[in-house]
């Protein structure tokens, strides 16, 4: 009986002294990478500001800001944080509401400063890098106070994100995404 206790103690000592597995190396795009501390902060502190839903095919969580307006009488675009925690990645997707005026095939957003047209942002084929780039440009444009308009189904430009609540929700979501991916 004594020998069994000694052998058990020695095997327990060897198991405790063995080195842990090396941490896996991230191989994806840097702008999408998340870490355990950033996910922990987001899940414990910031996620209460969002509606969470599951996207089962990718085993990911979708986060939509609770302050977003769901009015369909005016065009509204808003970012959605997609937390793909199985791959240690998070993405930012752009969603459009069910605007009664209809949307053009290609999401076209025109920005202007003090009644002079500055340029256009286009999203012809929605992909992760394209949506990341577009949402970053929109975030910067809102921070600079630029006026934004979106092309509707008739080909006319209609103001978008002009409501302070919608702008604030968009900017908050982008800041949270940048913190989640440690780019902020």
pLDDT at 16: 61
pLDDT at 21: 56
pLDDT tens, 31-56?
899 999 999 999 999 999 999 999 98
Pick from 14-18, 60-64, 76-80, 94-98: least confident: 14-18
User: Residues 6 or more apart from 79 whose CB is under 8 A from it?
Assistant: 65, 92, 93, 94, 95, 135, 170, 173, 174, 177
pLDDT at 119: 87
The residue with tokens 């969580």 is 61
Taking 70 as the threshold, does the pLDDT of residue 23 lie above it? no
Q: Taking the model in full, what pTM does it have?
A: 0.83
CB distance 64 to 80 below 8 Å: yes
147-151/89-96 β-pairing: unpaired
pLDDT tens, 64-93?
999 988 888 999 999 999 999 989 999 999
Q: Cα 116 to the chain's mean position, in Å?
A: 31
pLDDT tens, 167-177?
999 999 999 99
pLDDT at 8: 67
Secondary structure string (H, E, C) spanning 104-141:
CCCEEEEEEECCEEEEEEEECCCCHHHHHHHHHHHHHH
Query: In what side-by-side order are the strands of the sheet with 89-96?
Result: 50-55, 60-65, 77-84, 89-96
pLDDT at 28: 64
pLDDT tens, 117-157?
788 998 888 899 999 999 999 999 999 999 999 999 999 99
pLDDT, mean over the chain: 87
Taking 80 as the threshold, does the pLDDT of residue 3 lie above it? no
């Amino acid at each position: 009986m004594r020998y069994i206790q000694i052998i058990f103690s020695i095997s327990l000592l060897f198991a405790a002294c063995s080195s842990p597995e090396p941490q896996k190396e991230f191989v994806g795009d840097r702008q999408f990478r998340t870490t355990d501390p950033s996910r922990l902060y987001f899940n414990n502190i910031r996620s209460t500001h969002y509606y969470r839903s599951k996207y089962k095919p990718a085993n990911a969580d979708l986060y939509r800001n609770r302050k977003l307006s769901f009015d369909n009488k005016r065009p509204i675009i808003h970012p959605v944080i997609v937390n793909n925690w199985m791959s240690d990645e998070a993405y930012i997707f752009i969603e459009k509401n069910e605007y009664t005026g209809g949307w053009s095939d290609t999401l076209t957003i025109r920005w202007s400063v003090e009644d002079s047209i500055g340029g256009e942002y286009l999203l012809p084929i929605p992909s992760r890098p394209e949506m990341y780039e577009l949402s970053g440009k929109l975030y910067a444009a809102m921070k600079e106070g630029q006026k934004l308009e979106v092309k509707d189904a008739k080909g006319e430009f209609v103001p978008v994100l002009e409501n302070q609540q919608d702008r604030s929700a968009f900017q908050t979501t982008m800041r949270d995404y940048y913190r989640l991916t440690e780019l902020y």
